[in-house]
Amino acid sequence: MAKNPAEASKVPGMVCPQCASRIVVTMEQLLAAAPIRCGNCGLELTVDREQSRDALQSLEELRRSLQQFRGAQ
């Protein structure tokens, strides 16, 4: 885990709204529709899939493009 703010900003994720610990979240976790859990306090977060539909579609397109890029190497 990153120890300073500059390093933390490079790690995908978010700050827990309950305990302020860093929650590492991957693209796959966001797309899986499963709850995201803070490893420190156990808070469970879910993505409102209807409200986030456009963002999730863009994220899925990015995931597919990255897979294609990695496959071409």
The length of the chain is: 73
pLDDT (0 to 100) of residue 1: 47
pLDDT tens digits along 15-62: 999 999 999 999 899 999 899 999 999 999 999 999 999 999 999 999
Q: Which residues pair with 62 in a beta bridge?
A: none
Q: pTM to 2 decimals?
A: 0.68
Q: How far apart are CA 55 and CA 36, in angstroms?
A: 17
Which three-class secondary structure state does DSSP give residue 21?
coil
pLDDT (0 to 100) of residue 3: 57
pLDDT (0 to 100) of residue 4: 58
Q: Do 51 and 29 meet the contact criterion of CB atoms below 8 Å apart?
A: no
Q: How far apart are CA 7 and CA 37, in angstroms?
A: 21
pLDDT (0 to 100) of residue 71: 84
